[in-house]
Amino acid sequence: MGYETAAPTDVDSVVPDEYGGMWFLKDALDTEQLGFTVLELEPDGKGKEHDHETDGQEEIYYVVEGEVDVDLADETVTLSTDDALRLDPEETRQIHNHGDKRAKLVLAGAPR
């Protein structure tokens, strides 16, 4: 078969429900390099501060619904619905939902 399908309901969230949800779909989609994640953050929710310097993975964040701030080492980038942001592997980042509604994002990453 030349394709795979998957949905967040096919895998367990890696964060507790009260914070939203985060579903890693890489394994369910059987990708070799590309990571594909759906992230939902409740108001005042935040993701883990991290970088990908050791694994060389660049990431793209795409906002499906809502608005989030992405805190970088030297600045904060605000993203709204339909905005996308690409991040170099060594860039430290943390996503925050300072809004009053749940935010939904798609995160994609692969080695540079």
Task: Report if residue 27 sits inside a domain.
Answer: no
- Is the pLDDT at 17 greater than 90, yes or no? no
| pLDDT classification of 112: cutoffs 50, 70, 90 | confident
Task: Report if residue 23 sits inside a domain.
Answer: no
What is the identity of the amino acid at 47?
G
Task: Report if residue 22 sits inside a domain.
Answer: no
Domain count, the chain: 1
| Number of residues that make up the chain | 112
What is the identity of the amino acid at 110?
A
For the whole model, what pTM was predicted?
Answer: 0.94
Instruction: Say which CATH number the domain at 102 has.
Output: 2.60.120.10
Query: What are 34-75's pLDDT values in tens digits?
Result: 999 999 999 999 999 999 999 999 999 999 999 999 999 999
- Helices and strands per DSSP (H, E), number in the chain: 1, 8
How large is the average pLDDT for residues 99-111?
97
CA distance 100 to 12: 25
DSSP assignment of 7-37: -GGGS--SS-GGGEEEEE-HHHHT-SS-EEE
Task: Report if residue 26 sits inside a domain.
Answer: no
